[in-house]
Amino acid sequence: DRSFIAGLPDDVASSGIVRSILSMGSHLGLHVVAEGVETSEQSLFLITHGCPSQQGWLHGKPMSIELLFEFMTILQHRQAWL
């Protein structure tokens, strides 16, 4: 939940809750996706604690389905040139 992510990495309560959720998810065999990641510090905390799957303003702003398809097409063309 975004409200837990907002306090990372400095808020002790938020970091404890997030670590517990990630641990629970891991023990249950679930794929956890962090929502509301806005800073590189939050992202690094999550990666360090086993959560590389993230979404939020750090990674990209919300977009319509049309813009998503356009974005994906551009990415595919860029990768073809590599």
Extents of the domains making up the chain:
2-80
Helices 12-27 and 40-48, packing angle to 10 deg: 40
Q: Is the pLDDT of residue 41 over 90?
A: yes
Look at residue 54 and give its three-state secondary structure: strand
Are 1 and 23 in contact by the 8 Å Cβ rule? The answer is no
Average pLDDT on 38-62 reads 96
- Interior CA angle at 33 toward 4 and 45, to 5°? 55
Are 9 and 15 in contact by the 8 Å Cβ rule? The answer is yes
78 vs 14, higher pLDDT: 14
Look at residue 57 and give its three-state secondary structure: coil
Q: Where does the pLDDT of residue 74 fall: very low under 50, low under 70, confident under 90, or very high at 90 and above?
A: very high
